């Protein structure tokens, strides 16, 4: 069974025909070929599939695509504008807050979500919010430093 | 600014933060099919029949493969022992063994088809415990005779002796009986370490396509492109040049992607289907595909009252699971360091690599060393406590020193181990003897500190080759089969090449492995890349440099020695306006037909151990590390919090200090998980916690409150700029340092089995309480 | 994931009719539990009824009497951040904040959480302590029952075929409630609770008139103990009783014996913390 939905993906309104059993992640990767969103666990634990829906981070691997109807979906590909990185991406670069990079797009989107909800998080709030985004390579110290850079700067 | 020794930003950074880095699962080839496998639900069974007719008839299914499709191939493969069939043949040996695989137009169709395959099994007796498996009378897991392509292992392997012991390794020094007779006291204990997951967030994945019947192309996040190329060529009876292995970006490896895992089946499917096939493992399948060896260690130590170690006898059992992969080599790596980085005049070290009916293991960061380090470093603290000595002092007293002869007979160089230990201890504010006694406590909370120190070899003998190409515009390309698995190897190698040429790092690009183009490399493992490939790259760059200087000397009519090479080209030292740019130099060399300058090097380290005596050269270089930790234990719940942790590694020379930090942070975090909660649990061979919902990896909240990654730089005479390796250095020291801190917090209650789960801690405390009141 | 059809009702009546259509039909809300079961092949529904698109099904309101009503489709994150919940039922907000991770909390619903009947969960214990009721709607109408009676066991609830959870309500609190929620995990911070302990002290004026201790995630269903006219000295005994009465499910996080021990320790701590705040 298919569903015709309208959703805004990375700023562009799209009519999408999605299968009942497709997740948002499936649609992003397989249909829209937005491969920057990764699949690590498929069960909501790792966070490598994190995207923003109406500004809030979700595990796209567990969200039915049909529920994107009328929503605003942002993936990692939406961040850089005219060849300029988003401040969060830049802060990750400055702090070298990645190794293999597989968790990185999800981590960056989660940080976007965090700063949407709480522009000046303290360390405990950062840990609490991001603890569901798993980085096996070990970059938590640098991610925290990147966020510190971002929040220390006057906006 | 010098390229080497500074925190040069990673060359792959932009691709990774922008989401444009292409991983294997991101590749889509025209007409590509999706694969799914049918896996054994039995830990050990005879494969009576496999009927795929219904699956094959399902619309959308293009190919189904079973043992019948292995005809005409060399169906067994393996890195050291060729014991693993591409698909189960006579029997299945673990839950998860691949019995059949399907390629279909859609993933869901492949999934459905797998369920239509009918298999009849005849269960066989199975064995799961490594010590039981090694004992006579245990069910035999492999009855076939195997080949090995690895000449160095032939003598050590125990393959055709019957039984499940795949290999035995022995190393010895002195006289055991005399040693123990000389001891004032003797301690004897056993230690256990369960299997754990590598936990790379990118699952195993491969894409295969046959361009012609003689030409196979595989994309895979493999840490060992050339090794995989060789194995695929053997399986499919092709020349090595008939197999092209390309490695895109890799989403973490930690050893878990070192060997062929799903590539042979993917290639087989693609051949039958006549179309490209992609197979992405589900996380549940990853749990059945690779893991760290479980280990059991028996350790007997004789020591003097002043703390001098005089004798040590160690027996180690590594649980390989159903197939060996590089098990015998990894077991050996644990074996000769089983008595620790200490001077022990009399010792006997014996290691068994043993098959069990569990899913296959394989190398994981630190390979065999974490198991033995857990034992010998726990033991050191017990001895210190018993003698009332400062654990730091006891270790320093016994540690190996520069120039010491190791149990393998080689003389040790670049031994910064004591500095590592002191640095780590200072990092957490170690206060000597006092750490034994006055533990802070508040309510149910007890604090404690612990130390551990380790040494590890890099796999030897091996070779790495590299080519450097200088283009006419002055840009440089390094061709290498070293895999960027997140450790920063591309950046590190770019730094080395840039440094030698005097160019800015941005001018150097580093290839991803592509066996059509990039030269031989043993593998990206064993912390060997900076040293081996770094040396190869350095020398290849040197060749290019020489050619440039020669061209410059010719054109400028000066001696080569009077020239210097830099970003702008060649100039006469002290006379900057007598210079030539790179394009000009190329013109001098080639005339008007522009070309490129090429340099190459095949860097080899000879060595290896005599399998009978265990003597020779075990390592191109040894590396050393230490860890110190402070913990707070809630004695009522058993929950432990890490307040402070410091690691220290002797890297020889930090080519990129920030990337060294990141390596150590990753090692620390993986080891922290294994210290506290990571543990693959099986019941009768069935995984109990085989998903990431049940088996969790450390999170940002689990990260210690304070962490320091410290470096010692004791230059290695053979290393590029003195560098050794860092990738694995920290991991074996962390669990014992934490374990010792916990034992210290609990006033000497030792837990010998990892992980240090809260219930284990509470039980151990209760046991002591019962013991104490029992004594009264 | 295996294919299924997704029906998308706009009203509860429509949804119930769709649900009443045989064995292979199931409701799906956030999907965070259900889709995992489908992915793992443990469930093979032919049809899922998507409750996410029901209109106005996620409101959180408080009536004049003080009862708080949370519609089933409210996400865990909405509950956690709802001003009504934060002000009047802070312990529920605290427990919901501890559920899973931020991404799951944005998807998962309170209705799905309760209907799933997973004992290793944070909200049920707290809601039982708060005496919550669930509202169930089916083709045969609407009924309400105590959450404590609704939760029958691990993955077992009083839901009849064709029925769905439409709301959970917390009755008005007489006096003032001081509460504490302790989530205990044995491993990673991200784990499901090994124990979820709720302690409540209800005050009328300055006088503690009731103490409650609810133990979630340890046994197949939450355990609730109440004590009227409590004294500080009686609290440890309450924790002791909880540890005796509970029937823990042993698993990789610990044996039954260990979990009993935890209930005693954590019960005592949670009660002490609530008491300290109630009667400083
Ligand atoms: C990574 C991860 C970590 C987690 N950690 C925690 C944790 O720490 N603490 C915790 O408490 N929980 C945890 N959970 C569980 C989580 O709370 C539940 O998955 C979630 O609350 C279920 O809600 P849902 O809306 O997604 O339900 P769904 O998945 O949509 O449905 C769950 C079940 O309920 C049925 N159902 C759904 N809605 C209704 C309804 N309105 N009426 C009747 N039946 C219905 C479905 O048919 C299904 O059987 C975790 C989950 C994940 C994935
Ligand atoms: S892939 Fe979605 S959270 Fe891991
Ligand atoms: S960078 Fe590799 S998992 Fe995070």
The partner residue sitting opposite B681, judged by closest CB among C1, C2, C252, is C252
Q: Given an 8 Å threshold on Cβ–Cβ distance, is B22 in contact with A37? A: no
Ligand 3 atom with minimal separation from the A99 CA: 1
Instruction: Point out the least confidently predicted range of A120-129, B425-434, B650-659, B667-676.
Output: B425-434
C1 contacts: CB under 8 Å, gap ≥ 6: A21, A23, B108, C35, C38, C39
Residues of A with Cβ-Cβ distance to C100 under 8 angstroms? 44, 132
**Equal fold, C60-170 vs C176-278:** no
B201 touches chain A (CB under 8 A): yes
Q: Given an 8 Å threshold on Cβ–Cβ distance, is C2 in contact with B691? A: no
Mean pLDDT score of chain B, rounded to an integer? 95
pLDDT in the model for residue B146: 72
Task: Give the binding-site residues of ligand 1, using a 6 Å CB cut-off.
Answer: A 43-45; C 26-34, 51, 72, 99-100, 104, 107-109, 111-113, 115-116, 121-123, 159, 164-165, 192-193
The partner residue sitting opposite B696, judged by closest CB among C40, C188, C262, is C188
Asked, for residue B639, whether it belongs to a domain, the answer is yes
Per-domain residue ranges of chain C = 60-170, 176-278
pLDDT in the model for residue B438: 59
Strands (DSSP E) found in B546-702: 563-566, 569-572, 575-580, 597-605, 608-609, 616-617, 622-634, 640-650, 682-683, 686-687
Structure tokens at A32: 């829209």
Q: Which of A37, A38, A106 to mutate to test the pocket of ligand 2 (most atoms within 8 A of CB)?
A: A106
pLDDT in the model for residue B775: 41
Cα gap B626→B256, rounded to integer Å: 24
Q: Given an 8 Å threshold on Cβ–Cβ distance, is C184 in contact with B701? A: no
The partner residue sitting opposite B696, judged by closest CB among C40, C187, C262, is C187
Cα gap B335→B339, rounded to integer Å: 8
Q: Given an 8 Å threshold on Cβ–Cβ distance, is B487 in contact with A99? A: yes
Mean pLDDT of A104-108: 98
Residues of A with Cβ-Cβ distance to B253 under 8 angstroms? 100
pLDDT in the model for residue B175: 97
Q: What is the Cβ-side half-sphere exposure of residue B129, based on CA atoms within 13 angstroms?
A: 5
Residues of C with Cβ-Cβ distance to A47 under 8 angstroms? 101, 103
Strands (DSSP E) found in B163-219: 165-173, 185-193, 205-212, 215-219
Q: Given an 8 Å threshold on Cβ–Cβ distance, is A67 in contact with C52? A: yes
Q: B152 falls in which pLDDT band (50, 70, 90)? A: low
Q: Please state which CATH number belongs to domain C176-278.
A: 3.30.390.50
Distances (CA, A) of C127 to B200, B334, C21, C208: 38, 53, 31, 20
The partner residue sitting opposite A138, judged by closest CB among B250, B658, B665, is B665
Cα gap B512→B490, rounded to integer Å: 8
Residue B145 has pLDDT above 80, yes or no: no
Return the residue of B nearest to A91 by Cα: B17
Note whether B320 and B263 are same-domain residues. no
Distances (CA, A) of B737 to A66, A96, B303, B747, C104: 50, 28, 21, 15, 35
B683 touches chain C (CB under 8 A): no
Ligand 1 atom with minimal separation from the C73 CA: 41
Domain boundary among B581, B605, B629: B605
Note whether B620 and B759 are same-domain residues. yes
Residue A70 has pLDDT above 60, yes or no: yes
Note whether B469 and B551 are same-domain residues. yes
Note whether B665 and B573 are same-domain residues. no
Give residue-wise pLDDT tens across range B722-765.
999 999 999 999 999 999 999 999 999 999 999 999 999 999 99
Threshold 0.95, pTM exceeds: yes
Q: Given an 8 Å threshold on Cβ–Cβ distance, is A101 in contact with B16? A: yes
Mean pLDDT of B502-513: 97
Specify which residues B36 forms β-bridges with.
B102
Q: Given an 8 Å threshold on Cβ–Cβ distance, is B702 in contact with C184? A: no
pLDDT in the model for residue B160: 57
Note whether B667 and B756 are same-domain residues. yes
Return the residue of B nearest to A94 by Cα: B9
Whole-number Å distance, alpha carbon C234 to ligand 2 midpoint, is 46
Mean pLDDT of B110-119: 98
Question: Tokens 């840009």 label which residue?
Answer: B475
Give residue-wise pLDDT tens across range B324-349.
999 999 999 999 999 999 999 999 99
If one counts the domains in chain B, the total is 3
Asked, for residue B705, whether it belongs to a domain, the answer is yes
Note whether B629 and B703 are same-domain residues. yes
Domain boundary among B605, B630, B646: B605
Residue A134 has pLDDT above 60, yes or no: yes
Note whether B504 and B420 are same-domain residues. no
Cα gap B25→B34, rounded to integer Å: 11
Whole-number Å distance, alpha carbon C76 to ligand 1 midpoint, is 10
Residues of B with Cβ-Cβ distance to A140 under 8 angstroms? 665, 669, 700, 703
Picking from B39, B637, B638 by the largest number of C CB atoms within 10 A of its own CB, the best residue to mutate is: B637
C191 touches chain B (CB under 8 A): yes
Task: Kindly report the nearest CA distance between residue B250 and chain A, in angstroms.
Answer: 6
Cα gap B270→B218, rounded to integer Å: 10
On the 0-12 / 13-18 / 19+ scale of CB atoms within 10 A, C136 is buried
The partner residue sitting opposite B636, judged by closest CB among C40, C190, C265, is C265
Q: Rounded to a whole number, what is the distance in angstroms from the first to the last CA of chain B?
A: 70
Asked, for residue B776, whether it belongs to a domain, the answer is no
Asked, for residue B638, whether it belongs to a domain, the answer is yes
Question: Tokens 């007997």 label which residue?
Answer: B300
pLDDT in the model for residue B158: 66
- CATH classification at residue B215: 3.90.1170.50
Q: Are C162 and C16 in contact (CB under 8 A)?
A: yes
Q: Which of residues 220-259 of B touch A (CB under 8 A)?
A: 249-254
Q: B59 falls in which pLDDT band (50, 70, 90)? A: very high
Note whether B659 and B713 are same-domain residues. yes
Asked, for residue B644, whether it belongs to a domain, the answer is yes
Ligand 2 atom with minimal separation from the A42 CA: 1
Q: Which of residues 367-396 of B touch A (CB under 8 A)?
A: none
Residues of A with Cβ-Cβ distance to B486 under 8 angstroms? 98-102, 137
Q: Which of residues 440-499 of B touch A (CB under 8 A)?
A: 485-488
Q: Which of A23, A47, A64 to mutate to test the pocket of ligand 2 (most atoms within 8 A of CB)?
A: A47
Q: Which of residues 635-674 of B touch A (CB under 8 A)?
A: 658-659, 662, 665-670
Structure tokens at B341: 């980085």
B436: left (phi over 0), alpha (psi -120 to 50) or beta: alpha
Report the candidate in B503, B673, B660 with the shortest Cα–Cα distance to residue B581.
B503
Neighbours of B, requiring at least 3 CB pairs below 8 Å, are A, C
Mean pLDDT of B249-275: 97
- Return the axis-axis angle of helices B731-745 and B369-387, rounded to nearest 10°: 30
B195 contacts: CB under 8 Å, gap ≥ 6: B291, B292, B293, B294, B319, B358, B361, B679, B680
Note whether B471 and B455 are same-domain residues. no
Picking from C31, C101, C189 by the largest number of A CB atoms within 10 A of its own CB, the best residue to mutate is: C101
Structure tokens at C144: 């309400």
C60-170 classified as CATH 3.30.465.10? yes
Return the residue of C nearest to B679 by Cα: C252
Residues of C with Cβ-Cβ distance to A110 under 8 angstroms? 102-103
Angle at B370 between CA B709 and CA B694, to 5 degrees: 90
pLDDT in the model for residue B121: 98
DSSP per-residue letters across chain A: -EEEEEEEETTEEEEEEEETT-BHHHIIIIIS--TTS--S-SSSSS-TTEEEETTEEEEGGGSBGGGGTT-EEE-GGGT-BTTBPPHHHHHHHHHT--SS-SSHHHHHHHHHHHHHH-SS--HHHHHHHHTTS--SS--HHHHHHHHHHHHHS--
Question: Containing domain of residue B388, as a range?
Answer: 294-459+610-769
Asked, for residue B181, whether it belongs to a domain, the answer is no
Cα gap C45→C106, rounded to integer Å: 24
Note whether B490 and B587 are same-domain residues. yes
Q: Which residues of chain C have pLDDT under 70?
A: none
B217: left (phi over 0), alpha (psi -120 to 50) or beta: beta
Q: B776 falls in which pLDDT band (50, 70, 90)? A: very low
Note whether B424 and B481 are same-domain residues. no
Specify which residues C26 forms β-bridges with.
C48
Q: Which of residues 248-307 of B touch A (CB under 8 A)?
A: 249-254, 280, 282-283
Q: Given an 8 Å threshold on Cβ–Cβ distance, is A100 in contact with B282? A: no
Structure tokens at B90: 């006579």
In the three-class reduction of DSSP (H, G, I as helix; E, B as strand; rest coil), residue B686 is classed as: strand
Domain boundary among B605, B640, B674: B605
The partner residue sitting opposite C102, judged by closest CB among A3, A64, A132, is A132
The partner residue sitting opposite C190, judged by closest CB among B112, B699, B757, is B699
Neighbours of C, requiring at least 3 CB pairs below 8 Å, are A, B
Torsion B139-B144-B145-B149 (CA) sign = negative
Note whether B654 and B595 are same-domain residues. no
The phi and psi torsions of B548 (rounded to 5 degrees) equal -65, -45
| Top-confidence residue, B611 or B135 | B135
Q: Is A40 in the pocket of ligand 2 (CB under 6 A)?
A: yes
Distances (CA, A) of B194 to B295, B374, C173: 6, 12, 50
């Amino acid at each position: 069974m298919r569903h015709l939905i309208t959703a805004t993906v990375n700023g562009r309104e799209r009519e999408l025909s999605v299968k009942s059993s497709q997740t948002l992640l499936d649609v992003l990767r397989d249909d829209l070929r937005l491969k920057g969103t990764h699949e690590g666990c498929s069960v909501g634990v790792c966070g490598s599939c994190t995207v923003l829906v109406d500004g809030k981070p979700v595990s796209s691997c567990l969200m039915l695509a049909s529920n994107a109807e009328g929503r605003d979906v942002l993936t990692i590909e939406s961040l850089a504008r005219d060849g300029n990185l988003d401040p969060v991406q830049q802060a990750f670069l400055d702090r070298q807050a990645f190794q293999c990079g597989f968790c990185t797009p999800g981590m960056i989107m989660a940080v976007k979500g965090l700063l949407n909800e709480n522009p000046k998080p303290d360390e405990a709030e950062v840990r609490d919010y991001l603890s569901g985004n798993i980085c096996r390579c070990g970059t938590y110290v640098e991610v925290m430093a990147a966020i510190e850079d971002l929040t220390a700067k006057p906006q | 600014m010098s390229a080497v020794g500074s925190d040069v930003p990673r060359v792959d950074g932009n691709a990774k933060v922008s989401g444009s880095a292409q991983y294997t699962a991101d590749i889509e080839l025209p007409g590509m099919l999706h694969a799914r496998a049918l896996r054994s639900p039995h830990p050990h069974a005879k494969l009576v029949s496999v009927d795929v007719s219904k699956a094959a008839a399902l619309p959308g299914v293009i190919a189904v493969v079973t043992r019948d499709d292995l005809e005409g191939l060399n169906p067994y493969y393996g890195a050291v022992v060729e014991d693993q069939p591409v698909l189960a043949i006579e029997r299945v040996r673990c839950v998860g063994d691949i019995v059949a695989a399907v390629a279909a137009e859609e993933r869901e169709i492949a999934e459905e088809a797998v369920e239509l395959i009918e298999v009849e099994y005849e269960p066989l007796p199975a064995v799961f415990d490594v010590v039981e498996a090694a004992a006579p009378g245990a069910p035999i897991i492999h009855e076939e005779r195997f080949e090995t392509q690895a000449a160095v292992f032939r003598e050590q392997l125990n393959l055709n002796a019957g039984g499940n012991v795949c290999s035995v390794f022995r190393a010895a020094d002195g006289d055991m009986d005399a040693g123990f007779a000389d001891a004032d006291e003797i301690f004897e204990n056993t230690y256990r370490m369960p299997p754990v997951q590598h936990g790379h967030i990118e699952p195993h994945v491969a894409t295969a396509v046959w361009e012609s019947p003689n030409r196979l192309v595989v994309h895979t996040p493999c840490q060992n492109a050339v090794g995989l190329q060789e194995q695929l060529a053997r399986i499919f009876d092709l020349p090595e040049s008939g197999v092209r292995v390309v490695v895109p970006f890799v989403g973490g490896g930690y050893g878990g992607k070192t060997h062929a895992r799903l590539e042979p089946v993917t290639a087989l499917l693609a051949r039958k289907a006549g179309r490209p096939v992609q197979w992405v493992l589900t996380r549940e399948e990853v749990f059945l595909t690779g893991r760290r060896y479980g280990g059991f260690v028996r350790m007997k130590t004789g020591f003097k009252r002043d703390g001098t170690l005089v004798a040590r006898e160690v027996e180690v059992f590594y649980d390989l699971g159903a197939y060996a992969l590089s098990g015998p080599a990894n077991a050996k790596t644990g074996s000769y360091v089983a008595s620790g980085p200490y001077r022990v005049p009399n010792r006997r070290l014996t290691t068994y690599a043993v098959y069990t009916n569990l899913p296959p293991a394989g190398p994981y960061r630190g390979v065999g060393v974490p198991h033995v380090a857990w034992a010998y470093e726990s033991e050191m603290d017990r001895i210190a406590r018993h003698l009332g000595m400062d654990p730091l002092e006891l270790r320093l007293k016994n540690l190996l020193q520069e120039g010491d002869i190791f149990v393998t007979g080689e003389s040790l160089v670049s031994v910064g181990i004591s500095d590592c230990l002191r640095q780590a201890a200072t990092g957490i504010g170690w206060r000597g003897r006092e750490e034994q006694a006055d533990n802070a406590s508040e309510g149910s909370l007890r604090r404690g500190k612990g130390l551990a120190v380790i040494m590890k070899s890099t796999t030897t003998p091996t070779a790495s080759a590299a080519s450097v190409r200088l283009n006419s515009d002055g840009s440089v390309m390094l061709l290498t089969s070293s895999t960027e698995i997140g450790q920063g190897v591309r950046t590190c190698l770019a730094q080395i090449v840039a440094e030698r040429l005097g160019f800015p790092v941005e001018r150097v690009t580093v290839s991803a492995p592509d066996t059509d183009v990039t030269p031989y490399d043993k593998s990206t493992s064993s912390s060997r890349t900076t040293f081996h490939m770094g040396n190869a790259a350095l020398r290849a760059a040197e060749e290019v440099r020489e050619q440039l200087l020669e061209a410059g000397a010719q054109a400028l009519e000066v001696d080569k020695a009077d020239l210097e090479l830099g970003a702008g080209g060649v100039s006469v030292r002290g006379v900057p306006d007598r210079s030539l740019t790179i394009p000009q130099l190329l013109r001098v060399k080639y005339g008007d037909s522009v070309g490129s300058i090429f340099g190459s090097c095949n860097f080899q380290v000879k060595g290896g151990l005599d399998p009978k005596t265990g003597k020779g050269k075990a390592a191109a270089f040894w590396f050393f590390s230490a860890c110190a930790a402070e913990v707070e234990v809630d004695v009522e719940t058993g929950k432990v919090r890490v307040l402070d942790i410091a690691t220290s590694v002797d890297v020889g020379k930090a080519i990129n200090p920030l990337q060294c930090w990141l390596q150590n942070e990753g090692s620390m975090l993986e080891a922290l998980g294994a210290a506290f909660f990571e543990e693959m649990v099986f019941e009768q061979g069935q995984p109990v916690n085989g998903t990431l919902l049940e088996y969790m990896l450390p999170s940002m909240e689990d990260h210690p409150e304070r962490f320091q990654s410290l470096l010692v730089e004791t230059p290695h005479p053979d290393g590029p700029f003195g560098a050794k390796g860092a990738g694995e250095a920290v991991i074996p020291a962390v669990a014992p340092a934490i374990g010792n801190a916990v034992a210290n917090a609990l006033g000497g209650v030792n837990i010998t089995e990892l992980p240090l789960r809260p219930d284990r801690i509470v039980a151990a405390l209760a046991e002591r309480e019962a013991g104490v009141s029992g004594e009264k | 994931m295996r294919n299924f059809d997704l029906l998308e009702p706009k009203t509860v009546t429509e949804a119930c009719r769709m649900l009443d259509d045989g064995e292979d039909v199931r409701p799906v809300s956030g999907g965070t539990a259900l889709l995992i079961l489908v992915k793992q092949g443990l469930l093979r529904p032919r049809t899922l009824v998507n409750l996410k698109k029901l209109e106005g099904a996620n409101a959180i309101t408080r009536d004049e009497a003080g009862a708080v009503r949370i519609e089933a489709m409210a996400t865990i994150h909405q509950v956690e951040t709802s001003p009504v919940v934060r002000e009047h039922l802070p312990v529920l907000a605290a427990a919901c904040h501890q559920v899973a991770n931020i991404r799951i909390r944005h998807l998962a619903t309170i209705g799905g959480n309760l209907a799933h009947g997973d004992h290793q969960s944070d909200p049920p214990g707290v809601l039982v302590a708060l005496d919550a009721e669930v509202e169930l709607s089916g083709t045969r109408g609407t009924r309400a029952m105590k959450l404590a009676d609704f939760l029958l066991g691990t993955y077992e609830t009083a839901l009849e075929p064709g029925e769905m959870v439409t709301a959970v309500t917390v009755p008005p609190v007489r006096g003032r409630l001081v509460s504490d929620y302790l989530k205990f995990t044995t491993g990673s911070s991200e784990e499901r609770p090994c124990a979820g302990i709720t302690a409540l002290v209800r005050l009328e004026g300055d006088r503690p008139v009731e103490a409650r201790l609810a133990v979630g995630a340890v046994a197949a269903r939450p355990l609730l103990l109440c004590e009227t006219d409590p004294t500080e000295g009686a609290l440890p005994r309450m924790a002791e009783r909880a540890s005796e009465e509970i029937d823990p499910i042993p698993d990789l996080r610990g044996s039954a014996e260990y979990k009993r021990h935890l209930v005693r320790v954590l019960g005592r701590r949670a009660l002490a913390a609530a008491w300290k705040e109630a009667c400083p």
